[in-house]
Amino acid sequence: MHRIAEICKARDILMVADEALTCFGRTGKWFAFEHFGIVPDIVTCSKGLGGAVPLCAVLTSAEIADGAVEKGFQPFSSHAGDPLLCAAGLANLEIIDRDNLVENARVVGGYMMGKLKRMQDTYEIVGEVRGLGLCLGLEMVTDKQSRNPNFQGIAMVTQYCYENGLWLQTPVPVTDINDPLQQKFMEISGLQTLRFMPPITVTTEQVDEAMEILEAGIKIAEEKTAQAAAVAG
């Protein structure tokens, strides 16, 4: 991130931070760029801004905004400045601040990361756990040495979790996983990584419940992966 900022500054390029997924507390800070000690020229926000209503914003300095207007830029949208959506967004930000939810994301996110890290240390098919706050990912591999994507494992874990009351975003199709072209597309897209983005109101008790279901699914996937490797060997 620092290198990108240096390149932009050296070439007089505006640095844009897309914080659609990470704005307003998701990563344990109000904005994700704060983790890196940089200040972008433009920040795009949505999702966390509206608190479930369709609301987005582009934030920049007065100098950049005035320059854009002078050059003839005119932002437009079907719902630009909609008072109902803006009221909901303001209420959402007030609640985040009042209930200290940014700190909750940091603390509970750290707690959840600890749970996921233990799985990384325990299971051969968990390649890497990474993320900030409550924006976390768990990479599934066939084994730690090769780090080959484990799409079958991903499908098994998401299916098990769904059947046991934990909904995860299913990043891979449950069919045609063995198709080489489909596998290449999924690998390029990073779909071997389970993504966790619970509400920033989540509690440690809810994390415990979710991680218990997840780990049970990973155990099954690990056994099946080992069996498949033995047959192939």
Final residue in a domain of this structure, among 69, 98, 127: 98
107 and 198 in a single domain? The answer is yes
Please state the pTM of the whole predicted model. 0.88
Contacts of 36 (CB under 8 A, 6+ apart): 1, 2
Question: Two tokens at 142?
Answer: 């066939």
Question: Quick one: 17 and 61 in the same domain?
Answer: yes
Inform me whether the pLDDT recorded for 184 exceeds 80: no
Residues 35 and 67 grouped into a single domain: yes
Taking 90 as the threshold, does the pLDDT of residue 201 lie above it?
yes
Judged against a pLDDT cut of 90, whether residue 188 lies above it is answered with no
Nearest Cα to 151, choosing from 124, 189, 186? 186
Number of domains in the chain: 2
Q: Which pLDDT score is estimated for 176?
A: 55
Q: Are residues 80 and 162 both part of a single domain?
A: no
Q: What is the mean pLDDT of the chain?
A: 91
Choice between 187 and 84, residue whose per-residue pLDDT is larger: 84
Question: 68-83 pLDDT, tens per residue?
Answer: 999 998 877 777 878 9
Do residues 124 and 44 share a domain?
Answer: no
Do 89 and 105 lie in one domain? The reply is no
- Give the Cα separation of 98 and 101 in Å (integer): 8
Residue 126 sits in the same domain as residue 14: no
* pLDDT number for residue 27: 97
Q: What percent of the chain has pLDDT over 70?
A: 96
Distances (CA, A) of 49 to 36, 59, 69, 92, 140: 21, 12, 24, 7, 31
What pLDDT is recorded for position 51?
86
| Same domain, yes or no: 87 and 115 | no
Q: Any idea what the CATH number is for the domain that residue 14 is in?
A: 3.40.640.10
9 has pLDDT over 90 = yes
Confidence class for position 173, pLDDT limits 50, 70, 90: low
**Which tokens go with 176?**
């045609």
Q: What is the mean pLDDT of residues 158-187?
A: 77
Pick the last residue of a domain from 98, 119, 139: 98
Evaluate if residue 44 carries a pLDDT over 80: yes
At 67 the pLDDT is 94
Q: Are residues 136 and 28 in the same domain?
A: no
Task: Please check the confidence at residue 175 and state whether its pLDDT lies above 60.
Answer: no
CATH, residue 122: 3.90.1150.10
**Domain, as residue range, for 26:** 2-98
Residue where a domain stops, chosen among 50, 70, 98: 98
What pLDDT, on a 0 to 100 scale, did the predictor assign at position 125? 96
Q: Do 133 and 26 meet the contact criterion of CB atoms below 8 Å apart?
A: yes
Q: Do residue 209 and residue 160 come from a single domain?
A: yes
The answer to whether residues 113 and 183 belong to one domain is yes
Q: What is the mean pLDDT of residues 201-226?
A: 96
Let me know whether 78 and 115 are in one domain: no
